[in-house]
Structure 1
C-alpha cells in the first residue's frame, strides 16, 4: 500500500500487520477510540493476549480469550460498538464458529456428579447459601456461592439473561475468579436475587 496515502485504509492495514506479527498487545486507551479497541479485537481473533489500559477509568482490562472481548463489548456504549462495527471487517467482527457439538465446558458439566455442580437445589437452599456467603464478607465465598447458583440454573441461560459471554462467566465465577461488581449484580438479578442492607450490630 502507498505510504503516502495516510487515510484510514493505510492505518488499518498497518494495524492488521502489527496484530499478526505481535506476540501480545499493550494499548493505552482514551475510553472512546474505536481504533485502539479494534486492535484488541484483532489480537483476540488471532488467539493472542492483550491488555487495554483505560486512562479515564484508571483501570486495565486483560483479554485472554474471545469471552473477555465479548464481555468488554457488552459493557461498551452504543457509539463505541457502532464505531467498531464500521471499521472491522466481517472476518474480524464475527465471533469464532460455534459448533452444535458440546465444547469442553459442556462435557465437564455433563460428566461431573450433580452434587459437585449444584449442591443447593431448592430455592430455599439457594437463597440460604447466598445469604450465608454474603454474611461472611468473604469475597471468595460469595463468588463460589454465586457460581454454584449459576451452574444450578444453567450457565448458558445466565449468559443469555445477562448478555455476558458464557466462557467469561465460567472464569469469573470459578474458584479463582474475580468478577467485577457489575457482573455480580447482573448474575444476582438473572437468578432472581437482589442485594439489601441492614444495620450491623454494634
Structure 2
C-alpha cells in the first residue's frame, strides 16, 4: 500500500542522502513531499556532496539544486505515514527550528516509521527522541547520540540499524541497506518473482 512520506530537507544537506531516497521511494509507488522551513514548493535547496577520499573526515563539494515539491508552512504532519531525514550540514541548523523538532516528535509519539542517515542524528538528539534507542549515524555524531541517552552502533558505512520504527545509517554508502530496511518497516513489498529478461 502506498504511503505518504515527509522529507525535511535544507540547504547543504548531503546530495545523495536527499536525492536518492526521494527518488527511490517514489519509484516504488510512495508519495514523498520534500519541504524546508521558510521555503515554498518550487523553490530549491542547495546540496553538498560529501565524499570519503582518505582524509581524516569527509570532503565537501557543491551538489545539485534540489527542488522542493511542498511548502513547509502548509503541511499537516498528521497526514503523513513516515518521515525521512537526510544528513549533511542542514541538520546542524534545522535543529534550531522548534517546528521541525515538533514534527519529528510527532512521528515518534505515533510510532510511525522514521529513516535518518548520517548527520540527521543531530535532529533526532535535538528532538529528544533517542533515549533508550539503538541507532547509527556519522561517527562524529556518536557523542551527541550517547549524551542524549541513545546507544550508538558503530557499524560499517554500508550497513544500517533498525530499532522498532527507526531506521538509521552512518552515511550514503549504506543506501542499499538503509532504504531496503526502511521499505521493510513501511511494509513495502517488491515482487522479484518475475525478473526482467533481455
TM norm structure 1: 0.24
Q: Give the structure with the larger helix fraction.
A: 1
Give the greater-gyration-radius structure (CA): 1
TM norm structure 2: 0.25
Query: Which protein, 1 or 2, shows the higher relative CO under an 8 Å CA cutoff with sep ≥ 6?
Result: 2
